[in-house]
A and B are shown apart, each in its own frame.
Chain A
Amino acid sequence: MPSIKELAKRKEKFVSGHRLCPGCGAGVIARLVMLAIDKPVVVGCATGCLEVSSTIFPYSSWDTPFIHSAFENVAATISGAESAYKVLKKQGKIDKDIVFVAFGGDGGTYDIGLQSLSGAAERGHRMLYVCYNNQAYMNTGIQRSSATPRGASTTTSPAGKVIPGKLQFSKDIMSIMIAHNIPYAAQTIPGRWNDIVNKVEKAINTDGFSFINVLSPCRLGWPHKPEMAMEITRIAVETCFWPLYECENGKYKLNYKPKEKKPITEWLKLQGRFAHLLKPGNEHIVEEIQKEVDRRWEELLKKCETS
């Protein structure tokens, strides 16, 4: 793995000038992922905040070939490019080793894009799929997705007088992807550069489909103080809300175990979308969330021990 100094010297492929909000996680993730790939790389991006903010014609933040076609199909679009690569390489029309990366938001990954993602994973195209997961449809104004956590207030699961924000817990996309028997799946945060860079390196050196789920703070939708963006992702890890782990060929590995698991309120209290949960009368919801976080954490520990 490169040191931070070496990384800093690499040519940037995701460059400044984009119009993501200050304090947005998506830009940091895109930059780190691109820095971690020291090879020719073709990028695909689903419709969403990252794509609309980085490719406003005639400008582009992508100093590498880039394609966006629609919202629900980045995995299928890159499937086509990767298939073309295979056949053109066989014909000797390309000599380079090309890496393919698909970026999708949680909406483009967990919801509307799940089918094309599943198809591409099952077919085993050699690509890295990165879900920059800000846990809602941010580009269209903070609507709930199946990645939105229980209790979060969004514009389509608002906290009201009778309904306290989203009722469901988030979909377990990692298990879904791992059930495709893909060779590499991992969960990470932009707040630990070495964790994400290491995982991207592993993924692109995997012969097959790989999937990385990255927590992506959204200062508008969560909302949080812009300067807290990276810190918030580390707190997600410390509370075990967002464990850092990977699954290589079916073998689970926890990459980081908090010395002392912080209570979920540490994560909740930093974000406006959970503010109503911390008011009197909603203690039972916080309890439920804590219970679910504990259950998922224990389940993960077991998988890491037994796989």
Chain B
Amino acid sequence: MPSKRVTKTGNEIFAEAMRQINPDVVAAYPITPATEIVQIFSQFVADGIVKTEYVAVESEHSAMSACIGSAATGARTMTGTSSQGLALMWEMLYIAAGLRLPIIMAVVNRALSAPINIHCDHSDTMGARDSGWIQIYSENVQEAYDNLVQAVKIAEHPEVRLPVMATTDGFILSHCLEVAEILDDETVQKFIGEPPKRPTIFDFENPITLGALDLQDYYFEHRRQVAETMKKSIRVIDEVADEYAKLTGRKYSFFESYYLDDAEYAIVLIGSTAGTAKDVVDKLRNEGKKVGLMKIRVFRPFDYLRVRKALENIKIIGVMDRADGLNSFCGPLFSEICTCLYESEKKPALMNFIYGLGGREVREEDIETVFEELFKIEKQGKTVNTKYIGVRE
């Protein structure tokens, strides 16, 4: 397939993917470290390179509200944000999903206030994990591009019709130049196609009332449908990945397994830290240690069955959370891993590590520390107290 290599930052590649997707409407509001995405995109609009109507709203709450109004008409609709912006959208995230509107959002992960901090962690999107949005995380700039392009097709799939966020790690990916391969415009357009038909508020022959009041007699059924759809979307995400792999040779799954098959010790994590962790795995493998890595790509829906299958034969697992649960026990990724292994006969030992909050650097030594902690655990079948990595206690 026609493709080319480019050198771009995470923000530039998101903007580039948006240019190629050429959405009907973008409504967005600036926030570090996602600002550049909408700046670059506004220039595309100003130069007439895209057909998009750009709505420069006065807040992220209005950004998501305008996206909802736009998507309700059948228009292909996108936005982007980060941190406080995503937090301000919170109310509308649930509404976008509940109204089954396939909005596509580029999110740059950043810590949440207070204290105010502009650097990477996953607290912002983890806060939105139960909102009904599909969540796809990226390890590098290449994945950011691939994920955003696939997000369109997943969101609009007639059996899904749920909003999707594709994310990058703030600054680590958003502001770092990397080489990536991108498709040509035509191929992207062919891949995503015209938005499939769905009920809209521009149908005057069959007018719909969208956002009706559900009482005790219907609300539960409608929420149940969202839950069922989330389940069904697993198959669609796989199908879209297969189709994308045919185009690009890059095959994505819900997670990436790195030396997991015969691993006795493994780390599970999300995002750019996977790059560092892979280097450490390589190094320890060279020393003869049976270590591996699972990088979660799709966090919502969470593919419990396959994650369990991939992890249950491992003896000791360290789950690294770049967000704290502040629940006196563990981070959000740990909860999921713990839950999905409960059903397993062979219970690996589990330990949770909270790391990298507010952009705290994660070095190879930190990952080595995690493995060293895991090597100390002798018995399977229990969870060990959560440890904070790289913090002054």
Residues of A within 8 A of B (CB): 40, 42, 44, 51-52, 55-58, 60, 62-70, 72-73, 76-88, 90-91, 94, 96, 98, 115-116, 118-119, 122-123
Q: Does B24 interact with chain A (Cβ within 8 Å)?
A: yes
Our pick among A52, A70, A83 for the contact of B213 (Cβ within 8 Å) is A52
A57 partner, pick from B61, B99, B214, beta carbons under 8 A: B214
Q: Are A80 and B69 in contact (CB under 8 A)?
A: yes
The answer to whether B212 and A79 have CB atoms under 8 Å apart is: no
Asked if A116 contacts B218 (CB within 8 A), the reply is no
- Indicate if the CB atoms of B61 and A40 lie closer than 8 Å: no
Q: Which of A40, A78, A88 has the most CB of B within 10 A?
A: A88
**Chain A residues with CB below 8 A from B99, complex form:** 69
What are 13 A-B pairs at a CB distance below 8 A? Answer: A42-B202, A55-B211, A62-B209, A64-B207, A65-B208, A65-B210, A78-B69, A80-B77, A81-B73, A84-B77, A84-B202, A88-B75, A88-B202
Cβ contact of A60, chosen from B70, B71, B77, B212, cutoff 8 A: B212
Q: How far is the CA of A116 from the CA of B214 in the complex (A)?
A: 25
Q: Are B92 and A65 in contact (CB under 8 A)?
A: no
Q: Which 10 A-B residue pairings sit nearest by Cβ, starting from the closest?
A: A80-B69, A80-B66, A119-B58, A68-B211, A84-B75, A76-B62, A80-B70, A76-B65, A60-B209, A73-B65
B51 touches A91 (CB 8 A): yes
Q: By the criterion CB–CB under 8 Å, are A84 and B73 in contact?
A: yes
Choice from B61, B207, B218 contacting A66 with Cβ under 8 Å: B207
**Shortest Cβ distance from A67 into B: residue:** B210
Instruction: Report how far A273 CA is from B136 CA in the complex, Å.
Output: 54
**Roughly how many angstroms separate A86 CA and B25 CA in the complex, as a whole number?**
10
Q: How far is the CA of A85 from the CA of B203 in the complex (A)?
A: 12
Chain A residues whose CB sits within 8 angstroms of the CB of B202 once the complex forms? 42, 65, 84-85, 88, 94, 98
* Beta-carbon contact of A83 and B53 below 8 Å: yes
B203, chain A: closest CB distance, angstroms: 7
Q: Is B55 an interface residue (CB 8 A)?
A: yes
Complex: A70 Cα to B94 Cα, angstroms: 11
Contact of A67 among B62, B72, B91, B213 (CB under 8 A): B72
Chain B residue at minimum C-beta to C-beta distance from A68: B211
Complex Cα distance A63/B61, Å? 29
Interface membership of B307, Cβ < 8 A: no
User: Which of A55, A81, A98, A122 contacts B212, CB < 8 Å?
Assistant: A55
Q: How far is the CA of A235 from the CA of B214 in the complex (A)?
A: 38
Residues of B within 8 A of A116 (CB): 58-59, 61-62, 65
A82 and B73 CA atoms in complex are apart in Å by 9
Residue B155 at the A interface, CB < 8 A? no
Give the residues in chain A near B62, CB-CB below 8 Å: 73, 76, 79, 115-116, 119
Evaluate contact between B27 and A83: CB separation under 8 angstroms: yes
Interface string of B37-63 (1 = CB under 8 A from A): 000000000000001110111110110
Chain A residues, CB < 8 A from B66: 76-77, 79-80, 83
A73 touches B61 (CB 8 A): yes
* A58 and B68 contacting across the interface, CB-CB below 8 Å: no
Q: 5 new A-B pairs (CB below 8 Å) besides A80-B72, A87-B75, A91-B24? A: A56-B213, A57-B214, A70-B91, A70-B92, A80-B66
List the interface of chain B (C-beta within 8 A of A): 24-25, 27, 51-53, 55-59, 61-62, 65-75, 77, 91-92, 95, 99, 200-204, 207-215, 218
* Chain B neighbourhood of A63, CB < 8 A: 207
Taken together as a complex, chains A and B put the C-alpha atoms of A194 and B356 apart, in Å, by 65
Residue of A nearest to B56 (CB): A123
CA distance A7 to B204 in the complex (A): 20
Contacts of A118 in B (CB 8 A): 58
Which single residue of chain B is at the shortest CB-CB distance from A119? B58
Interchain CA distance A7-B107 in the complex, whole Å: 50
Instruction: Enumerate chain B residues within 8 angstroms of A83, measured Cβ to Cβ.
Output: 25, 27, 53, 55, 66, 69-70
User: Are A80 and B67 also in contact (CB < 8 A) when A52-B213, A58-B218 are?
Assistant: yes
Q: Are B69 and A66 in contact (CB under 8 A)?
A: no
Known contacts A76-B57, A80-B55, A119-B59: A68-B212 contact under CB 8 Å? yes
- Interfacial chain A residues near B71, Cβ < 8 Å: 80
Asked if B211 and A69 sit within 8 Å, CB to CB, the answer is: yes
Whether B213 lies near A119 (C-beta < 8 A) is: no
Distance from A47 Cβ to chain B, minimum over Cβ atoms (Å): 9
* CA of A69 to CA of B63, assembled, Å: 13
Docked CA distance A192–B67 (Å): 37
Q: Which of B56, B72, B203, B208 is packed against the most chain A CB atoms within 10 Å? A: B72
**Which chain A positions have C-beta within 8 A of B25?**
80, 83-84, 87
**B213–chain A nearest beta-carbon distance, Å:** 5
Q: Residue of B at shortest CB range from A71?
A: B91
Please indicate the chain B residues that have their CB under 8 angstroms from the CB of A78 in the complex. 69
| B204 A87 Cβ-Cβ under 8 A | no
**Distance between Cα atoms of A86 and B69 in the complex (Å):** 13
CB distance from B381 to the nearest CB of A (A): 47
| Among candidates A55, A67, A76, A123, residue contacting B201 with C-beta atoms closer than 8 Å | A67
Contacts of B58 in A (CB 8 A): 115-116, 118-119, 122
Residue on A with the closest CB to B103? Answer: A80
Chain B residues positioned under 8 Å from A80 (CB to CB): 25, 27, 55, 65-72, 77
- Indicate if the CB atoms of B65 and A70 lie closer than 8 Å: yes
The listed residue with most A CB atoms (<10 A of its CB), out of B57, B65, B201, is: B65
A119 to B59, CA, bound (A): 9
For A44, the closest partner residue in chain B by CB is B69
The complex places the Cα of A79 from the Cα of B79 at a distance, in Å, of: 14
Shortest CB distance A70–B (Å): 6
Q: Interface centre among A55, A67, A85, by most B CB within 10 Å?
A: A67
- CA separation between A58 and B207, bound complex, in Å? 14
* CA A148 to CA B207, docked complex, whole Å: 35
Q: For residue A72, which residues in chain B have a CB less than 8 angstroms away from its CB?
A: 61
- Highest count of chain B CB atoms <10 Å: which of A52, A64, A66, A87: A87
- Write the nearest CB–CB distance from A66 to chain B, whole angstroms: 4
User: Does A73 contact B92, Cβ atoms closer than 8 Å?
Assistant: yes
Q: Which residues of A contact B92 (CB under 8 A)?
A: 69-70, 73
> When the two chains form their complex, are residues B73 and A76 in contact, meaning their CB atoms are under 8 A apart?
no
What chain A residues lie within 8 Å of B69 (beta carbons)? 44, 67, 69, 76-84
A90 CB contact (under 8 Å) in B51, B59, B72, B218: B51
Q: Which among B70, B207, B209 has the highest number of chain A CB atoms within 10 Å? A: B209
